[in-house]
C-alpha cells in the first residue's frame, strides 16, 4: 500500500492506493466497510471520478476508500468480475454488497449507492 493510513484502528480520510490483490485483502480485513474504485490508467472517466471518490472518503467517517488498477494484478479482474472501468465495489466485512459500474458518477450518485447498494441494479453484470 502506498500510504500509512491502513491502520486497522482508523479509517483513512482519503483514498488509499493499493498495488496488489494481497494489499486489497489486507485492507478489507482491516476495515469493516470499504469502497474500492477499480480504475485503469489512461481512462478519462476514471480520472474524472478520482476527486469525487476523494470527497466521498472525506465525507463518510465509517467508510474506508481504496483505489486499485486491476491490470497491475490481473487475477483481480476475474475474482471481482471487472468488466469496465471505473467500477466501484462496496464491501462490508470483506464481502461485496454492492457494485456500481456505469461510468462516471457524481458524489450524490455515489452517496445514494452507499445508502442503498443493492437498490439500483446499475451493474454491468449479466446473469
46 in active site = yes
Q: Is 109 a catalytic residue?
A: no
80, 29 in Cβ contact below 8 A?
A: no
Q: Which of 5, 43, 45, 96 is catalytic?
A: 43
Cell of 4: 500509512
Instruction: Judge contact between 4 and 48, C-beta under 8 A.
Output: no
Out of 30, 46, 68, 85, the active site residue is 46
Report the distance separating Cα 109 and Cα 119, nearest Å. 12
**Of 59, 57, 81, which is closest to residue 70 (Cα–Cα)?**
81
Q: Would you please indicate which residues are annotated as catalytic (active-site) residues?
A: 43, 46
Amino acid at each position: 500500500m502506498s500510504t500509512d493510513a491502513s491502520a486497522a484502528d482508523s479509517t483513512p480520510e482519503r483514498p488509499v492506493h493499493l498495488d496488489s490483490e494481497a494489499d486489497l485483502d489486507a485492507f478489507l480485513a482491516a476495515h469493516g466497510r470499504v469502497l474500492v474504485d477499480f480504475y485503469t490508467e489512461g481512462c478519462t472517466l476514471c480520472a474524472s471520478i478520482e476527486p469525487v471518490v476523494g470527497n466521498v472518503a472525506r465525507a463518510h467517517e465509517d467508510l474506508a476508500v481504496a483505489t486499485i488498477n486491476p491490470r497491475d494484478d490481473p487475477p483481480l479482474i476475474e475474482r471481482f468480475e471487472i468488466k469496465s472501468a471505473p467500477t466501484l465495489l462496496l464491501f462490508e466485512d470483506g464481502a461485496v454488497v454492492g457494485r456500481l459500474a456505469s461510468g462516471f458518477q457524481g458524489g450524490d450518485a455515489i452517496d445514494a449507492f452507499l445508502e442503498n447498494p443493492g437498490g439500483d441494479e446499475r451493474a454491468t453484470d449479466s446473469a
